[in-house]
Amino acid sequence: MAAPGNAQGEAAARQWPRELRAGANAGLVAAAQTLTHGMLAFAPLGPSAAETGLAIALASSAAAGVCVTALASTRPLVGTTTASTALVTGSLLATARPATVEAGILLAMLLALLAGLLMIAMARLGLARLALHIPAPVTVGVTNAVAAVILVGQTPVALGIAPGQPFSANALHAASMAVAALAIALTLRPLPLVPAPVAALALATLLHHGLVAAGIAVGPAVGVAPMPMHVAAGLLGAADSWRVLIDWPGLATQLPVAALSLALVAMAESLTAAAALREHSGRRADPRQDAFGVGAAMVAAGAMGGAPGSVLTSASLACQAWGGGGRISMAVRAAIAAMALLFAGPLIATLPFAALAGVLMGTMLRLARLRPMVPGRGAGQARRAADAGVIAAVVATALLFGLIVAILVGVVLSVAIFTVAMAQTTLRRAISNPTGRSRVRRPVEDVRLLQDLGNRILVMELQGAIFFGSADGIVARADRARAAGAEIVILDLSRVTRIDMSGGQRLVELCRNARGAVLLAPVRRGSRVAMELDMLRMDLLPASIFPSMAAAVEAAEDHLLAGRGTPGGARLEAAQALSTLGLPAGAVDALLPHLVPCSFAPGTTILRQGEAADAAYLLLQGEVEISVAGAAGQAPTRLAVLVPGVLFGEAALMGGGRRTADATARGEVRCVRLAAVGAEALRRDAPDAAWLLLEAAARQLAANLAAANRIIDQIEGDDAAGPSPRD
């Protein structure tokens, strides 16, 4: 068996080549986009700024990559320039119209520096943690939206139109399509042992220049060679241009606004990219640290000439797809940008824009996640269809209005879908005829009547949060149940996590409008549900709230019995009670001499758990609660409530033993007592009557067991019996 240290070393050795390859591939993809971003950012400065703009973009990309590698938490974030941030810079330069190229570079540097400081401040304030709440369909939608935006944006370039030039049918070149198609094919189906972007760029460039040599018209190439000296010249010229820039009227107004816009755009891009990476990898990260790292990258990019640094989502996801998952791939990506600036200037000048576009388009086709957009059949189809709708909306909005608006639309749609889903799934299931859940042991005649009338009681089991979006559905369902014949509707709140003010207000109104016909349980003093309802003066409706479901069902059963001429608080004589047990007159006459009358004050413990079972009792008046002791510091657990006509303590008739529960008087209680010695005398003197009494006790035990089974079936029943909260 290999030692742990050796195993870790072997794993690291295997990881290095994959990290290097992923970083190199992502570096080439990012470099292809960085060249375009440099043109976009500095295009308002005129053709003379082309070489300087491309060089500054590569230098800023390398500096931003180093900062993100060192400081960010999510991996592999690719810190570089992006189209959105480049457009913000280009818009400011177009508005300011600086007198010289150098003044424009200084303005871009100030913009990036100020935006970076704002991002660092936002990271320190904790605003970046909002990224943790971006829904998964939005992050998938962002991945597909980035792919769609690049595919649409690069299509004219693949057809032979240079970046930034207006679309014109006369400028299209069919041969450029062949160049782009070759680059796309080699990116999707790479050659063995050769990084896909390298092979795609190299062979597509050879095809382009072969077509040129053959006299076939193709689209333009980059044409200029960015070099380190261009960056140095731009920085030196910017340092001498502060006097020109200080006279610009918008320095104190337009620059801060543009910097805030740039900071918000970069923050949204970076946090969304980080969320998409976490969605793919499942790794945890700190959004605040990510935002701080990208803010530092923006400052570093500003110091290198002002091509704004952010996070490139497409390159980040591509790096991850190629196997990059650590800082090595991120550092290699940044090194590729630096090496391109240092050594590849003449080579960059020969690259056709169609080949660069083809590499980008092929990479995006590999990244697109189409499967989540097809809901499929089976359980959960409605939820998957809603997620697919959010993804499609994000993609469409990104194409029409931009990625930032698309993220906002996706979040709003996700919240709306969540609200609708919560409103539909608050009702876990509805149970009619909950006879037995009161745990009240009633005479056989009352039990039969309740079983016949039990459908007039409806228990609605609620779950989750009751809020403005779900309360109306609960009220409507309760009203429909009452209209269909339910006399009592009990709302089971045991699975409710919270109630907001709107939801609580609707429940209070429901109880007030249907006073005594809608009950809420369990509402225990000190619980969150009780405190929420107390704020709405629910205490004004004491007949509608109950501390337990058993108490609520008991009240509902008492209501049904009282309405059918079987009022509670019955007073029986011993002979009546024995007849209620099903004993014939002869057995009753034989039993009466052995019964001793007794009474108990409210709260008296009649039977105590653990004591010897020395007598059985027949309840004639009042109620007796059967309970077992709770854990330390907790109230006893109620098992049953007995009403007149019920036999309890019957273990004394079956051989004695120890009491398994407490029996406590609820109010004034009157019983007759049959001692164990009296039962023995009865078996000796009137064995037939003794046998009939044991049969009656057995029937009662069987009825109790059947009631317990019904409770278990109702409480533990499969969710298939009711609506599924997931679909």
- pLDDT tens for residues 698-710? 887 777 776 666 6
pLDDT of 719 > 60? The answer is no
pLDDT score of 206? 94
The answer to whether 298 and 116 have CB atoms below 8 angstroms apart is: yes
Residue 85: both structure tokens together: 């941030």
Q: What is the pLDDT of residue 671?
A: 94
Contact 615, 650 (CB under 8 A): no
Largest Cα–Cα separation, the chain: 127
The closest alpha carbon to 660, from 650, 673, 670, 668, belongs to 650
Structural domains in the chain plus CATH codes: 11-158+221-367 (no CATH), 426-567 (3.30.750.24), 574-714 (2.60.120.10)
- Whether the pLDDT of residue 723 is over 50: the answer is no
Residue 320 has pLDDT above 60, yes or no: yes
Could you read off the pLDDT of 128-160 as tens digits, one per residue?
666 556 677 887 787 788 778 778 888 888 888
Q: What is the pLDDT of residue 530?
A: 77
Per-residue pLDDT tens for 234-255? 899 888 887 777 777 777 778 8
- Are 552 and 546 within 8 A, CB to CB? yes
Spatial separation of the C-alpha atoms in residues 361 and 157, rounded to whole Å: 11
Q: For the segment 543-572, what is each residue's pLDDT rounded down to a tens digit? A: 788 888 888 888 888 888 887 665 555 688
How confident is residue 220, by pLDDT bands cut at 50, 70 and 90? Answer: confident
Q: Is the pLDDT of residue 526 over 50?
A: yes
More confident residue, 14 or 506: 506
Residues 6+ apart with CB under 8 A from 601: 665, 668
Whole-angstrom Cα distance, residue 33 to residue 41?
A: 12
Q: What is the mean pLDDT of the chain?
A: 82
User: How large a percentage of the chain has pLDDT more than 90?
Assistant: 17
Provide mean pLDDT across the span 416-443. 75
Q: Give dist(CA 575, CA 681) in Å, integer.
A: 19
Q: How confident is the model at residue 227 (pLDDT cuts 50, 70, 90)?
A: very high
Residue 538 pLDDT grade (very low, low, confident, very high; cuts 50, 70, 90): low
Give 3-state DSSP helix, strand, coil % of the chain, rounded to 5. 65, 10, 25
Q: SS3 for 457-483, per residue? A: EEEEEEEEEECHHHHHHHHHHHHHHHH
Range scoring the smallest mean pLDDT among 157-171, 341-355, 665-679: 157-171
What pLDDT score does 141 carry?
A: 81
Task: For residue 466, list its beta bridge partners.
Answer: 499
User: In this predicted model, what pLDDT tens digit does every residue of 21-79 receive, in sequence order?
Assistant: 889 888 888 888 888 788 778 878 877 788 888 899 999 999 999 999 999 988 888 99
Determine the distance from the C-alpha atom of residue 550 to the mean position of all C-alpha atoms in its chain, rounded to a whole number.
34
Range 326-355 average pLDDT: 90
Say if residue 420's pLDDT is above 80: no
Question: Which pLDDT does position 369 carry in this prediction?
Answer: 75
- The mean pLDDT value for 347-370 works out to 83
> For residue 608, what are the CA distances in angstroms to 596, 603, 628?
20, 13, 9
> Which residue is associated with the tokens 């810079």?
89
Give the residues across from 263 on adjacent strands: none
β-bridge mates for residue 231, sequence order: none
Please say whether the beta carbons of 304 and 63 come within 8 A.
yes
Among residues 235, 362, 70, which one has the least CA distance to residue 62? Answer: 70
Q: Is 330 or 196 the better-scoring residue by pLDDT?
A: 330
pTM of the model: 0.56
Quote the CA–CA distance of 590 and 581 in Å, as a whole number: 15
pLDDT at 2: 47
Is pLDDT at 540 greater than 70 in this prediction?
no
Of 179, 178, 157, residue with least CA distance to 166: 157
Choice among 63-77, 210-224, 241-255, 581-595 with the minimum mean pLDDT: 241-255
pLDDT at 659 over 80: yes
* pLDDT confidence band for 200 (50 / 70 / 90): confident
Q: How far is CA 148 from CA 314, 368, 371, 439, in A?
A: 11, 8, 15, 63
pLDDT at 725: 37
What backbone phi and psi angles, to 5 degrees, belong to 514? -120, 55
- The DSSP element (H or E) to which 405 belongs, if any, is helix 403-425
Q: What's the pLDDT tens digit per position in 284-299? A: 778 888 889 999 999 9
Q: In this predicted structure, what is the pLDDT of residue 64?
A: 94
* pLDDT above 50 (res 306): yes
Phi, psi at 433, each rounded to 5°: 55, 65
Strands (E), 260-327: 309-311
Whether the pLDDT of residue 718 is over 70: the answer is no
Residue 466 has pLDDT above 50, yes or no: yes
CA distance 156 to 173: 10
> Could you give the CA distance from residue 28 to residue 113 in angstroms, rounded to a whole number?
26
> What is the model's pLDDT at position 362?
84
Length of the chain, please?
Answer: 727
Q: What is the SS3 assignment for 634-673?
A: CCCEEEEEECCCCEECHHHHHCCCECCCEEEEEEEEEEEE
